[in-house]
Structure 1
Amino acid sequence: MESPMVWLAYSVREQIRITDMYSLFEAHYENGYAFPGESHNFWECLYVMEGDVCASGDERVYNLPRGSIIFHRPLELHKFIVNGPRGADLLIFSFAAEGPLTSYLAEKVFQLSRAQQDIIAAMLSFIHAKAEESGSRNPDAHSAQSYLEPFLTSPVYSQMLATYLQQLMLSLAEAGAVSSASSAPDAVAFRRAISYLNSNVHAQPSVPEIARYCNVSEASIKRIFDKYAGMGIHKYLLKLKIKAAAELLQGGESVTSVAEQLGFNSQAYFSRAFKRETGLMPSSLKAISAQ
């Protein structure tokens, strides 16, 4: 009598799982368009379908040709400027995700292969077909949630969309070509300035002080921040303080201690600024991290 076959179980070790989608849309932007800097507590990706874009994430600046995709991690300050003479066609989507692959994707830019671009093309074909079925597709719309409306009525649609994006991200971990940050003089000065601000996030460094550190004029450093961050230096520093505050709160620090450590005039002002920048009260974030 033959021995029964023994079947071995091979565990699937999930590397990334998209848990929520916040936006997904296509848009054409004309040459010279500058998206103002922003940050939020979820991921955002920008994919260049056509044209050329200069994008920044925190201190890093990248020149993105057709086929490039940049990942902005939660609370990363990001901005983009369209450089191509014919403008740029972009796919932008934002999401929440968990899994070990998220740390790999953070702060990276990839030049997609033909196969990886085909994954995005297949996803868009699927989305467009569903939009045509519902009669809701508007090719001129810049609505950040226009492609997410079926999430409300179709769990299958939401999982299909997440599956396409997860397939893309997994393929990047297997064979992704990572792009290097720009070495242009302004980009280098911007990186130095952000490094200085991060080192002095507990203080209130002045514009002349930052300009001297970067070996540029005050006018130049202000222009560079407007170019790459879309905001003034003091506004950028506030966002860095809020980012540092979130990390301290998640590490167990009290709201009072964090406000004092980061040089806020009062706990009340800190709480208002934190809520304005993140949508959450600092006490709420601390409560979540304690669970």
Structure 2
Amino acid sequence: MQRETSNDSFLEYGQTYHEPIRLTHPDLIHQHQTAITRRYVSQFYCFNCDTYIEVHDGIGVLLVSHTADAADVQEFAMNRLIHIKPNVYFAVVSTTQKLEFELYAESNYSLHVTDFPSQYEFLAVLPRIEMQKILGYYYRIRTPNYCFKGEQHNFFELTYVDEGELETEVDGTLYQLKDKELMIYGPGQFHTQYTDDSHNASYMTVLFDMRNLTPVEQEVWYDALINRVFHYDQKINSLIKAFVRESTTGIPYMNSLMLCLLTEIIIRLLQGTYASPMNQPSNSVHKSAMDELFDRIIAYIDENIYLPLTIPEICEHFSLSRTALQLMFKNSIDQSPKKYINDKKLERSCQMLLENRYTISEISLRLGYTSIHYFSKSFNMKYHMSPSEFVKQNLQNKK
């Protein structure tokens, strides 16, 4: 079971509290943040002061550690109001679609954003396989010399030999299915079925659709499921028997249970296989895919400009090497990703300064700078004046 931040084992990292922190510490600055679901986490915050997290919407997990080592990370289900001690590494992962929270810190904070040498893997309970519909299910008995000349269709087809032997040719390759063996034909695969002159074949056929798969899922799942014979496995054999048994009951929720059983069959098959490497796309396809990927990276930076974005985090999010990311920015806008991010943050800081809603310390924290001193230095290097001078100059221009 999960431990909560109200558990005694969390006390070495912090504790929960009961009243919103702004009521007792009105001098603290704060930043609104949105956490998302992530499987791999490498970036952690570490403040030199007490910090406070107040959850507004969503459910999440707080990852904490005393060291920059993924092996030391502990998971705690988040309560609404959480105090984190100084010098504790922490990260927030949402288990709902997103998690909205306020992060409070002292105005003279120092933030160390650390990329752990190895990633921490957070295993959220998420559906990976979703059966959309069972299109048909049949039990067939074929005598010797049966021949089905073949077909192809745009859905999956599972064939399980209960007794006997069945020959099948898939896209020109011949396979032989014996007792308690099965095979899956993928969408678009041409396949034939026949028996020789000395064998019967009793077998079950299930036609089904999975939810719309992403291109990556199609490559991985297709390679894992098709063009192979799955030999006898006790768990899968038991599931198939339960599927057949359930299909004849006629009782309420029979169809729902059949979908669940078929889903488990597919999952068990995937657990026992390894995906083959994907083919490399042609140059023209690669070009358009890279353009689309660059647009997604720019959108990701714009959406997360209020966070302390780092190059390793972007590389991890888009499964790119640092070299590939640098080259992509160089070819597209003749600028490094680091400079692009910094320029965007400084442009946003100018807007916030002119709005006159935040102090310079709050703007520094909201834009993810590690300290107000680093923010002021970056601002001065780009605009040749301090943030306070920028505000003063614009006020004079309005007069």
What's the TM-score once normalised by structure 1's chain length? Answer: 0.48
Q: Which has the higher strand share?
A: 2
Q: Which has the higher helix share?
A: 1
Looking at CA atoms only, which structure, 1 or 2, has the larger radius of gyration?
A: 2
Tell which has more relative contact order, 1 or 2 (C-alpha 8 A, sep 6+): 1
